[in-house]
Amino acid sequence: MPNVYHIVVCGSIVPDPLQTLEPVESPAGPSLKNEMMLPAVLDPWASHALYEAAELVKKCPGSKVWLVSVAPKAKLQQVMMNIAQKVPFELVAVEGASSGFMEAAGTANALATAIDGIADLDKSRLLLFGGWESASRGAGAVMQMLGEKLHVTEQFQGVDVLEVGDDDQFLIKERIEGGSYQVNETSGCPVLLGWATGNLPEPKNNPQVGMLNMRTVMPALQRATKADITTGDVDYKSVSLPKQKRETRVEKNMSADAIADEIVTWLNE
């Protein structure tokens, strides 16, 4: 059936970026200080993908959204209490580490297994959404690896615009350097899109949507499978916060042109 899509959004949870994040060494490898105590949010990159998916479903009646998330179950439940009020979706939960120190390949394997296990998913109608990068990792590798594992060869990264035409015609705008876009045209499913920030605001909370979603969220959390995701063969020699350097000089009698010239000279150095 044309223009009916099964949209799978991949997104994990990350510590709230407003918190102080301090990397430390633990017996299991590098982690964040008091990581389990930090408040968590849905990865901002994945959030944009979820909102774009929900908007597409509105335009394409009969379509459906699944949110597949690999995260510690207790933390994921807390985040879902908020996200479930934003847009309709069906949760597929996988209990596993979501730390930014985990190897991207292990996360991609866990996501692929979970997606393969979705009973009602029609891969011939699949649109695979996710964050272009991640607020915890920033490697931009998980979605690419996941696409290869699911044999999705049409992949687009840094997407801000998706326009869907008749007969599964897609116009996709990817970010490139200089604030410009690369415009792509493709047809047919499956297609993978790694979203940047898109064009949609965060939806307002809707208690009715939340109540509808929670009917499936809680059972999904209860039957969440476990995934053993580790740092793999990666050996971290050390982890630390970036060093801050600030040099201040007070000038009372410099003209604006002289200040500008000095800034330009400093940037060129």
Say how far apart CA 66 and CA 7 lie, in whole Å.
6
pLDDT at 180 over 70: yes
**Residue ranges making up the domain that contains 137:** 6-226
Binned at pLDDT 50, 70 and 90, residue 233 comes out as low
Cα–Cα separations (whole angstroms), residue 123 to 5, 30, 154, 159: 9, 37, 13, 21
pLDDT at 9 over 90: yes
Q: Is residue 245 part of a domain?
A: no
- Tell me which residue of 17, 9, 8 sits closest to 135, measured CA to CA: 17
Tally of domains within the chain: 1
Q: Is residue 135 part of a domain?
A: yes
Q: Is residue 233 part of a domain?
A: no
Mean pLDDT of 139-154: 90
pLDDT at 205 over 80: yes
Q: Is residue 266 part of a domain?
A: no
- For the ranges 21-35, 65-79, 175-189, the lowest mean pLDDT is seen at 21-35
Residue 196 makes CB contacts below 8 A (sequence gap 6+) with 45, 48, 132, 158, 159, 160, 175
Binned at pLDDT 50, 70 and 90, residue 269 comes out as confident
Q: Is residue 249 part of a domain?
A: no
SS3 117: coil
Please give the model's pTM, rounded to 2 decimal places. Answer: 0.82
pLDDT at 1 over 50: no
What CATH number does the domain containing 77 carry?
A: 3.40.50.620
* % the chain with pLDDT above 90: 44
Binned at pLDDT 50, 70 and 90, residue 74 comes out as confident
Mean pLDDT of 47-75: 92
Q: Is residue 265 part of a domain?
A: no
Q: Is residue 200 part of a domain?
A: yes
Q: Is residue 47 part of a domain?
A: yes
Phi, psi of 60 (to 5 degrees): -125, 80
Say how far apart CA 212 and CA 209 lie, in whole Å.
5
- Kindly tell me the sign of the dihedral angle through the C-alpha atoms of 155, 234, 106, 75: negative
Identify whether the C-beta of residue 151 lies closer than 8 Å to the C-beta of residue 191.
no
Highest mean pLDDT out of 10-19, 99-108, 205-214:
205-214
